[in-house]
Amino acid sequence: MMSQHFKNAVVDTALVGSVVLLLMFFYAPILTLVAFSFTSSRVLTFPIDGFSLQWYGELIRKPDFFPAVINSATVAAVSTLFASVLGTAGAIAWIRYQFRFQNLFRVVTFAPLLFPQLLLGVVMLLWFSVLGNWLNFSTGLVTVIIGHVVYITPFALVIVAVQVYGFDETLEDAARDAGASRWEVFREVTFPLLWPGIFSAAIFAFLLSWGNFYVSYSLSGTARTLPVFVYSGIAVGSSPIYPALATLNFVPALLLVGLAEFLRRRALKRQSTALSTS
């Protein structure tokens, strides 16, 4: 008995230790970047030499910083909107409906996930080059948005599909039995319960689009998004302004992920309440 208890304790300790090591492996570089953003030295050295906020000021004063932020925000917002709508429609078609060539539809939907981002960007650049010569247009933010929609929509679809798969259709049946129309069922029952999955998919899609480099670099033309701005600056030399930029990206992203998890938990509680009262 004691031996079995000891074995269980060893296994539990090993599992907890593995999780702690994994988290340290993931977050040590991020925490290091955050620390470097407050250094007073122009050279990134450890231990950190002094404490200063000057690099945040230098980052904001860069003339090409805010245009890059606006471009990235525009691309990410528009791409997320299209990806969320297409992903939600695709997820519902995936889970709820049976139709011819459904397996082919699933394979085609997953195809962008199988392409490395660099290869996807190059292929789409070649395609837009041919199409641009024919229709007389050049690459820019519009082509970046199209490329991002192609890339992030499958991710949104998979996340929403999980929510659709776990959806209890008896709630819709109860609403229809109570006399609700199809639109009222969707508006009052289906959409509110699917919304946490859609919101989570939108956050994930936004972050993927915001930080995407390969597709943006291939299709942006003369426009610059934030990842392209970072790449152009790092190509010249390292500077503490880039750890400062990474910190400004990391904190809002963490808050968005926390908000998505909060909404997911609230939706589960809401759904369980609805089931218990129906």
Residue at 159 is within a domain: yes
Which is nearest to 205 in space by CA: 84, 46, 35?
84
> Is 44 within the bounds of a domain?
no
Q: Which pLDDT belongs to residue 151? A: 92
224-269 pLDDT per residue, tens: 888 888 887 776 666 777 778 888 887 788 888 777 777 767 766 7
Query: What pLDDT, on a 0 to 100 scale, did the predictor assign at position 271?
Result: 61
What pLDDT, in 10s, does the model give residues 99-119? 777 777 777 777 777 778 888
- Count: domains in the chain: 1
pLDDT in tens, 9-33: 666 677 877 878 887 777 777 777 7
Q: Please state, rounded to an integer, the average pLDDT across all residues of the chain.
A: 80
Cβ 88 vs Cβ 198: under 8 Å: yes
**Quick check: is 220 in a domain?**
yes
Q: Checking phi first, is residue 39 left (phi over 0); if not, alpha (psi -120 to 50) or beta?
A: beta
Percent of the chain whose pLDDT exceeds 90: 14
Query: Over 60: is that where the pLDDT of 142 sits?
Result: yes
Supply the pTM of this predicted model: 0.80
Would 85 be classed as within a structural domain?
Answer: yes
Specify if 138 maps to a domain.
yes
Domain of 173: which CATH number? Answer: 1.10.3720.10
In a domain, 129, yes or no: yes
Query: How many residues are listed for the chain in this entry?
Result: 278
In a domain? residue 95: yes
Nearest one of 261, 257, 264, 255 to 205, comparing CA atoms? 257
Q: What is the pLDDT of residues 164-208, one digit of tens each?
A: 877 777 777 777 777 777 787 777 777 887 888 888 899 889 989
- The boundaries of the domain holding residue 237 are 62-276
Domain presence at residue 151: yes
Nearest to 193 by CA among 245, 257, 268: 268
pLDDT attached to residue 11:
67
Residue 3: per-residue pLDDT: 66
> How far apart, in whole angstroms, are the C-alpha atoms of residue 53 and residue 243?
12
Helix/strand/coil (H/E/C) assignment for every residue in the chain:
CHHHHHHHHHHHHHHHHHHHHHHHHHHHHHHHHHHHCCCCCCCCCCCCCCCCCHHHHHHHHCCCHHHHHHHHHHHHHHHHHHHHHHHHHHHHHHHHCCCCCHHHHHHHHHHHHHCCHHHHHHHHHHHHHHHHHHHCCCCCHHHHHHHHHHHHHHHHHHHHHHHHHCCCCHHHHHHHHCCCCHHHHHHHHHHHHHHHHHHHHHHHHHHHHHCCCHHHHHHCCCCCCHHHHHHHHHHHCCCCHHHHHHHHHHHHHHHHHHHHHHHHHHHHHHHHHHHHHC
